[in-house]
Amino acid sequence: MSKRPTISDLAREAGVGTATVDRVLNGRAKVRSDTARKIYLAAEKIGYHAAPLLRERLYSDLPERRLGLLLQKENQEFYKTFAQVFQAKAQACPGVRCKPNIIFASSQSPEEQAGLLADLGRRTHAVAATAVNHHDLTHTVRDLKRRSVPVFTLLNDFAQEVRHSYVGLNNMKIGRMAAWTLYNTPQPPGKIAVFVGGSRWHGHALRETGFRSFFREHPVKHSLLDTMVNLETRAVTYEATLDLLRRHADLRGIFVAGGGMEGAIDAVREMRQPGEVAMVVNELTDVSTRALQEGYLTLIDSTPLDQLCQKLVEAMVHATGLNASDPPGQIFLQPEIYIPESL
């Protein structure tokens, strides 16, 4: 049975004296906010029993900010991690008491996503969302803007004329990077396939545009097949990839611009040897890590969630300040790139 952490353990972890910890716990004298915060974070780390009390003392006098986050696919590893990182960054934000409110859409329906976004906006000071590009969403974002609730679009931009800011990768560059990778992978001439989630995902359209523009600008080596829509699902991607492999013995490369990579990986694993089909996908997960190590993937471009959530929380808090007047804009992040030798 592990020993319960003591005040001495807490002081040692925080790098302060026990007297300072005692003052924070009992409110006997004013302690600098950064010192109190360091003690609280140390208490959370070691599981000190009075961590909730420390948090209350630390944040009781700070202004409250309720931050809403709308994500997709609650059971998908990427979005689970996204929610966890956002929660941690919000709770650790200095100078305010951030209360994250995270919900998930169950489908790609614009009506559902617009309704969820509107409901979230009624209960929070600022909202961030991954959602489709559709006039229903634009109307909702416009209504929230009228009520001084800034909306941040994530990964896939939408309502560009009224949203506060886009936070994510430069999707055009992601598409060109994928094309460069497949073009320069040693392969005989053949066919290249592209998967997008659907016509309403603006980010996927930009990735496809960047991908095709690269191939247009370089000497003909491969021919690009018509773009496939996979609804970002594993099952649809799996069946479509199996069909491609059966119909095109010379399939040399696949770019999955959005979700559903698991299906493409499964199909290629069944019908080809490692390296026979070069493949670029998004996000480092347990599935993509294994496929990269086994040689079924050539490159993974991954969203730097830690950096994204840090910048997002800071931007949302700033946008809800009394003097916030920033015009709509974009916050582009550099992708994390993984090749087989990275892992």
Question: Could you give all domains of the chain from N- to C-terminal order, each with its CATH number?
Answer: 7-59 (1.10.260), 64-168+304-333 (3.40.50.2300), 171-303 (3.40.50.2300)
Element (H, E) at 214: helix 202-216
- The stretches of 92-192 forming alpha helices (DSSP H) are 110-123, 135-146, 171-184
Q: For the packed helices 202-216 and 171-184, what is the interaxial angle rounded to 10 degrees?
A: 40
| 299-302 and 336-338 beta bridge pairing | antiparallel
92 or 67: which carries more pLDDT confidence?
67
Q: CA 177, 228, 152, 161 torsion: positive or negative?
A: positive
Sign for the pseudo-dihedral over CA of 199, 201, 207, 209: positive
Q: What percentage of residues in the chain have a pLDDT greater than 70?
A: 95
- C-alpha 35/C-alpha 226 separation (Å) is 59
* pLDDT surpasses 50 at 219: yes
Q: Which of 172-176, 221-225, 297-301, 317-321 has the lowest mean pLDDT?
A: 317-321
- With cut-offs at 50, 70 and 90, classify the pLDDT of residue 93: confident
Query: Is it the case that residue 61 has pLDDT exceeding 70?
Result: no
Each residue's pLDDT tens digit, 263-301:
999 999 999 999 999 999 999 999 999 999 999 999 999
CA distances from 310 to 68, 94, 328 (A): 15, 11, 19
Q: What tens digit of pLDDT does each residue of 225-262 get?
A: 999 999 999 999 999 999 999 999 999 999 999 999 99
| CA 231/CA 196 separation, integer angstroms | 7
Answer yes or no: pTM beyond 0.85: no
